[in-house]
Amino acid sequence: MSAALDDDRAESIRMIRDSAAAVAPPGGDLKRVRDLRWQDPGFDAGLFRQMGEMGWIGLRVPEALGGAGLGVSEMCALAEELGAGLVPEPLIPCTLSAQLLAATGGKGPLPVLLAGEVVVLTAWQERADTLEVPGSADAPRRFLPMASGADFFLLPVREGGKLALYELPAARCVPTIERTQDGGNLGTLQPNMHEATKLADDVGEALAVALDEAALVTGAYLLGGMERAFGMTLDYLKTRQQFGKVIGGFQALQHRAADLRMQLALTRASIESAAAALDAGAVGDARRAAVSRAKARAAEASLRLQRECIQLHGGIGYTDDYDVGLYLRKAMVMANQYGSAALHRRRFMAVSPEVEE
C-alpha cells in the first residue's frame, strides 16, 4: 500500500472515530446506557436511526447500493469507540444483515435498513458457539441480539446444497426473549416459512464473509471496553489512598496494571492486523486464520482484564452503581458472540499455515 493510501486510510479512520463522539463521547457518563437496561427493546430507536443517517449501518455496503463502501479497519475503529461507550444499539448484527442484503443486489429492506428506519437481524445460528450455518428450515434460530426490537429477520435456508436467503417480517413470527447479563436481550425464533419471502438462491459465501467480519468487529468492540475500563482503573489507582499512600504506588498493583496494559497492546495489535489483512484482500483460510486469532485474543483478554479491573477497584468495583462493573457485564455477553475464544483457537489451529501438523 502506498504512503498516500496509508494517509487516506488513517484520515478515514480518524473521521470515523470523531463521528462516534456524537453517540459515545470519550469519557462520557453512562446514564443513557443504565436507563436502557432491562427495558424493551433495550436500545434507542431514534439513536439507531441517527446511526443510519451517519452511514454507519452501510459502512461496508458498496456505494452503488447506498452504502459508504469503506473498509474493515474503519468498521473496527467505529466499533472500538462504541465499545468504550457500551453503546447497546445492534449495529454489528445489522451491518451483517446489510452485507447479506447487498449480496442479493439490494433486495428486501436494504434501503430502510441503511437509513436506520428498521432493525434487520439475520437468524443464522441454531446451536451455541458455532460459526456453521446448517440452514434448517424448521429449526429454531437462537441467540439473536436485541431481538425484541427487530422489524425483520433474514433466514438462511439450505436448499439443494446452496444457502438461500428469505425475509420474514417480525410481526409474522415473534421471537421468545431472554434477558442478558448486561441488561439487553437475546431472542429465539421459530421460523414461519409460510410467511417468508425468498430474496436470493445462494448467499453462502457472502454470509461466511459477513460472519467473519462480525466476529472481528465484535473483538474491536470488546477492545474499546477494555481501554475504557483500564483507564477508569488507572484513575482510581492514582486517587485512592490506603495507609496514607496512593495505592497506585504499591509495587504489586503496578505489576498487575502493567500486565493488563500488555493484554491491551496485544489485543489491539491483533485486531488491527486482522483488519488490515481483510482490507488487503485475505480470503479463505487466510481470512479465517486472521479473524480467529484476533477474536480469540479479544474474547479471552477482555474477560481477564475486566475481572482484574473489578478486583483492583476493591469493594466498590462489585457494586452495580459503579460503572466499571458494566464493562464486565458487557464482556460476559459479547465475548462468545460470533464464536468463543475456544472455538476460534480451534479454528485457527485448523486453518493457519503457521501451525505445523
Quickly tell me which residue has 443513557 as its cell.
Answer: 32
CA angle at 242 for the pair 241 and 247, rounded to the nearest 5°: 65
Quick one: pLDDT at residue 18?
A: 92
Distance CA 246, CA 239 (A): 6
Residue 76 contacts residue 88 (beta carbons within 8 Å): no
Distance CA 103, CA 357 (A): 36
Quick one: pLDDT at residue 354?
A: 64
Which helix (H) or strand (E) element contains residue 19?
A: helix 3-20
Q: What does pLDDT average to over the chain?
A: 93
Which of 28-42, 90-104, 246-260, 342-356 has the lowest average pLDDT?
A: 246-260
Residue 77 contacts residue 41 (beta carbons within 8 Å): no
pLDDT at 318 over 90: no
Q: What percent of the chain has pLDDT over 70?
A: 95
Residues 320-332 have pLDDT tens digits of: 888 999 999 999 9
| pTM for the model | 0.95
Residues 93-146 have pLDDT tens digits of: 999 999 999 999 999 999 999 999 999 999 999 999 999 999 999 999 999 999
Residue 154 contacts residue 122 (beta carbons within 8 Å): yes
Which of 9-23, 172-186, 218-232, 296-310 has the lowest average pLDDT?
A: 9-23
CATH 1.20.140.10 fits 206-351, yes or no: yes
Quickly tell me which residue has 452495580 as its cell.
Answer: 320
Where are the chain's structural domains? 206-351
Quickly tell me which residue has 449495529 as its cell.
Answer: 91
Residues 28-68 have pLDDT tens digits of: 889 999 999 999 999 999 999 999 999 999 999 999 999 99
Q: Quick count: other Cβ atoms within 10 Å of Cβ 249?
A: 11
Strands (E), the chain: 120-122, 141-145, 152-159, 162-169, 176-179, 185-189, 197-200, 241-242, 245-246
pLDDT at 343 over 90: yes
pLDDT at 248 over 70: no
Residue 153 contacts residue 140 (beta carbons within 8 Å): no
Average the pLDDT over 287-307 and give the result.
98
Q: Assign residue 86 a region (left: φ > 0; alpha: ψ between -120 and 50; beta: otherwise).
A: left
Distance CA 346, CA 223 (A): 21
pLDDT at 275 over 70: yes
Q: Give me the sign of the Cα torsion angle 335, 341, 347, 353.
A: positive
